Amino acid sequence: MEFGLEQTIALLVRTPAVLDTLLRDLPDSCVLQDEGENTWSACDVVGHLIHGENTDWMPRAKRILEFGESRPFEPFDRFAHKEKQSEISSMPQLLDEFARLRTENLVHLRALDLQPEDLLRRGLHPALGIVTLSELLATWAAHDLTHLHQISRILAYPYRDAVGPWSRFLGVLHCAGHSAASYRSGNE
């Protein structure tokens, strides 16, 4: 096991509060703005995190523990939140829903009382093949951080001209996201 489960949970616990502190009550112009065609706003990102809480992390952890490699995960649709936007549309509602689901999921995760041997158990990802429970939980935390990284970039986007010659010193203005092309169109 290459990461500590308690450290991972410490990060997972924080994400809803971090996003709440950063995004609640920001003007709509900030939270609805994206980075151009086919990119996401901060609202889209929180919607995507909500979808992950509902369908990705804990459902997949349970599938590994129940079925091992014999039954692959359901594919995770990265764009499902786009269909949900008519149901939950304001940032405060999105933040409340994300915090509620994350709290519930971490209660369930702790209740599993995972032991080192459980973390080595293997499951079947529909695109990536064999993965372990340890890798899934590490990915949950790193996925939060990928989207915090993305939100900092989205919020900086309106400043790319306004900063004038300082632009070269501001790495966030020159970030294009780094995820594999398959991520942009595929599922996780």
Binding mask 19-48 for a copy of itself (x = CB under 8 A): --xx---xx-xx------------------
Q: Is 10 in the site for a copy of itself (CB under 8 A)?
A: yes
Mark the segment that binds a copy of itself (CB under 8 A) among 11-19, 41-49, 84-92, 95-103: 11-19
Residue 71 identity (one-letter amino acid): R
Nearer to a copy of itself, 112 or 145 (CB): 145
Q: Is 84 in the site for a copy of itself (CB under 8 A)?
A: no
What minimum distance in Å lies between the beta carbon of 67 and a copy of itself?
Answer: 19
Q: 9 near 106, Cβ under 8 Å?
A: yes
In the block, which residue shows the tokens 């920001």? 26
Binding mask 137-176 for a copy of itself (x = CB under 8 A): -xx-xxx-xx-xxx-xx-xx-xx-xxxxxx-xxxxxxxx-
Angle between helices 5-23 and 91-111 (to 10 degrees): 170
User: Residue 17: how many CB atoms within 10 A of its CB?
Assistant: 12
**25: region left, alpha or beta (phi > 0 left; psi from -120 to 50 alpha):** left
Q: Is 185 in the site for a copy of itself (CB under 8 A)?
A: no
Two structure tokens written together for 134: 């340890």
What minimum distance in Å lies between the beta carbon of 2 and a copy of itself?
Answer: 4
Nearer to a copy of itself, 86 or 161 (CB): 161
Two structure tokens written together for 150: 């993305």
Burial of 150 (0-12, 13-18, 19+ CB in 10 A): buried
Burial of 146 (0-12, 13-18, 19+ CB in 10 A): middle
Q: Which residues bind a copy of itself (CB under 8 A)?
A: 1-3, 7, 10-11, 14, 17-18, 21-22, 26-27, 29-30, 125, 128-129, 131-132, 134-136, 138-139, 141-143, 145-146, 148-150, 152-153, 155-156, 158-159, 161-166, 168-175, 177-180, 182-183, 188
